[in-house]
Each structure stands twice: as C-alpha cells, then as structure tokens.
Amino acid sequence: MASLWEYANPKKFIATSDRVLPYLGGLALVCLVVGLSWGFWFTPEDFRQGHSVKIIYLHVPSAFMAINVWIMMLVASLIWIVRRHHVSALAARAAAPVGAVMTVIALATGAIWGQPIWGTWWVWDPRLTSFLILFLFYLGYMALWAAIEDDDTAADLTAVLCLVGSVFALLSRYAVIFWNQGLHQGASLSLDKEENVADVFYFPLLVCIAGFVFLFLTLVLLRTQTEIRARRMRALQARERLG
C-alpha cells in the first residue's frame, strides 16, 4: 500500500489534489446550498428566538471550523517538525488565513445574533473572548510567516509558534472561563444528547458543517498549490541567478 508520505512530494501532491479538487468543490457547493436553504426556509422558527435562530447555520459551522483549522495547523506543524515534509509546512501556512476568516465570520454572526437575543452586539463572555484571542493568534501566526524571508526558517519558527501558541490558547480559554462566567448558551453540538439543539435544527446544521468542512478542504488545497508554485518559482529564480 502506498504510504501517505508520498504526498509530501510537491509534484505528486499537485497532481493528486488537481484530481480531487473538482469533487471537493462540488461537494462543498452542494452541501452549502442544500444545508443553508434547508435551514433558512424549511425549518420552524424557534419559539423564543424567532427567525433570528437561523443564523445558527452560519455561526456554528464557522466557529467549529475556526477551532479545527487551528488544530489542523498544529498537526501540520508537528509533521513538519518531526518529518520535515515541506508540503505540510506550506499547508499550515495556507490554512491560517482561512481559519482567521472563519473566526471573523463566527464573531460577526455571533454579534449579529447577540444583538436581538441578548440586546447587545458584544459581551465579554468567555466564548466570545476566547474566539477573539484565537483570532489574535491567527494574526500573529500569519504576520510571522510574512515577516521572514527564508522559507525554511519561516516554517520552523511558525511551527514552534503554533505549538507554543496552542498551549497558551488553551490556557487563555480556562483563564477567561475563570474570569467571567458568561451569557453564551451551552454547546449546540455535543455528544451529550440533552444539551443539543432539537433534531429539526440538528440535521440541516450537520449538512452545513459538512459544507464548511469541504469548503475548507477545497480552499486549503488550492492555497497549498499556490504556495507550492510560489516556492517553485523562487527555487527556479534562485537557480537562474546561479547560472
């Protein structure tokens, strides 16, 4: 059986991702269209929150992705540190802006939702605050990538930052819970059935989450390809200079 590490070869990665991309993109489109229209037009209104509940179909998937993108970056950074596969470092780099945008979407939809329900755009609630801090981590990570000229040095440094940042992000999460107990409702999705949203909201929500996952995969593959090609261009230019 072919090893997973074969895809660490940039050429092989580009060839394979080229084949996969149309399907992933298509799946993302279908899931998002089906999930969002199901959620927006074919679910009942919440008896307390009215139609404003429907923003859940954007809010929950983006919040879910905001965290998971960071975890994916952490895994990719670890792979880079341990096995030094360059594609994984570039994939981490490619994922960061997507994660940052997901965080912004989660924060913005949260604010829009919070206005009618809590009567305020923003509260210093533990969840909101944690997401804000996560966003700052994304910013720092991207800024460090952008600031360093040498590709390998940048990959090494950002990988360490990602590791250390993950620990501190976790610490911050517990710190803000301690700091303020908060308004935010419990998890919309969890293994504990009691806490979950009602089934009628649950299934379209799952479809939307699947859509966001596919969307993320599509974007990350595309961006990784771009990073690989940019890197290749720099390598070619370097060789040109050497003559």
Segment contacting other proteins (CB under 8 A): 116-124, 131-139, 181-189, 206-214? 131-139
User: What is the DSSP code (8-state) at residue 47?
Assistant: T
CA–CA gap between residue 101 and residue 62 (Å, rounded): 9
Should residue 151 be labelled a site residue for other proteins when binding is judged by CB under 8 A?
A: yes
CA–CA gap between residue 102 and residue 108 (Å, rounded): 10
- 105: three-class secondary structure by DSSP: helix
Should residue 232 be labelled a site residue for other proteins when binding is judged by CB under 8 A?
A: yes
Q: Provide the Cα torsion 65, 71, 72, 74; round to 10°.
A: 150
- Closest CA relative to residue 112, chosen from 47, 183, 58: 58
CA–CA gap between residue 108 and residue 131 (Å, rounded): 11
Should residue 124 be labelled a site residue for other proteins when binding is judged by CB under 8 A?
A: no
Nearer to other proteins, 200 or 236 (CB): 236
What tokens appear for 176 in the block? 């803000």
Q: Does residue 36 contact residue 57 with C-beta atoms inside 8 Å?
A: yes
Should residue 147 be labelled a site residue for other proteins when binding is judged by CB under 8 A?
A: yes
Choice from 34, 97, 111, 231 touching other proteins (CB under 8 A): 231
Choice from 76, 105, 176, 221 touching other proteins (CB under 8 A): 176
Choice from 54, 59, 86, 127 touching other proteins (CB under 8 A): 86
By rule CB under 8 A, what count of residues binds other proteins?
A: 42
Choice from 1, 11, 198, 199 touching other proteins (CB under 8 A): 11
CA–CA gap between residue 155 and residue 159 (Å, rounded): 6
Should residue 18 be labelled a site residue for other proteins when binding is judged by CB under 8 A?
A: no
Should residue 199 be labelled a site residue for other proteins when binding is judged by CB under 8 A?
A: no
CA–CA gap between residue 19 and residue 13 (Å, rounded): 10
Binding-site ranges for other proteins (CB under 8 A):
9-11, 86, 133, 136-137, 139-140, 143-144, 147-148, 150-153, 156-157, 160-161, 163-165, 168-169, 171-172, 174-176, 178-179, 228, 231-232, 235-236, 238-239, 242-243
